[in-house]
Amino acid sequence: MAHPGERQETRGLIGSLLDRERRLVQRVEGVLRFDPAAYREIEADAHAIPQSLAVVVATAALAALGQGGLVPMFLGLGISIIRWMAVTGLIWAVGLAVTGGTADFAKLLRCTGFAQIWFALLLFSGFPVVGALCLLAAIVLSLASLVIATRVVLETDTAKALLICAIALGVPLLVLLGLGA
């Protein structure tokens, strides 16, 4: 027989889980609308890293479905998590150098995880022509989301956030392309 206090605690736990789930959906909707307030909410929530990871994992799963098979799913999952960490680290390092600020890596990690949502468009990557367009859209939209995340977390203007993202993502890309030539 449950005590009245235990029953309320259970309701509180279930209610808390449902509230977090609702907030996740609202945050995803905010990111899809490019709403800076959604990024500020994610930045402020120290417990949002599991939600960010869930977005990265779900996005990787959708992208893998577009490529078909379990191997792309597991490989894509690993690559997505590594990409998330690497992109965040690059933006964070360049951002600190450019702004001279002291931004918190975890705050940026939470926001950049949600910015990965656009790679869900890769679900359609297996279709001729449409797949290439979806890849291009995913890259451009993800970059736009990263700029907003950078602007919010590093507390800078859009032009400087765009410069930070361009340097953080462009320089390694140029180095990779240069090594391949």
Residue 180's pLDDT band, with cuts at 50, 70 and 90, is low
Examine the pLDDT at 11 and tell me if it is beyond 60: no
- Per residue, the 3-state secondary structure of the chain, as one string, reads CCCHHHHHHHHHHHHHHHHHHHHHHHHHHHHHCCCHHHHHHHHHCCCCHHHHHHHHHHHHHHHHHHHCCHHHHHHHHHHHHHHHHHHHHHHHHHHHHHHCCCCCHHHHHHHHHHHHHHHHHHHHCCCCCHHHHHHHHHHHHHHHHHHHHHHHHCCCCHHHHHHHHHHHHHHHHHHHHHHHC
Predicted confidence (pLDDT) per residue in 96-141, tens digit: 999 988 889 999 999 999 999 999 999 998 888 898 999 999 999 9
Q: Determine the pLDDT at residue 102.
A: 83
Q: Quick check: 63 pLDDT over 80?
A: yes
Mean pLDDT of 63-74: 78
Q: Mean pLDDT across the stretch 45-51?
A: 91
Q: Where are the domains of the chain?
A: 4-180
Say whether pLDDT at 8 is over 50.
no
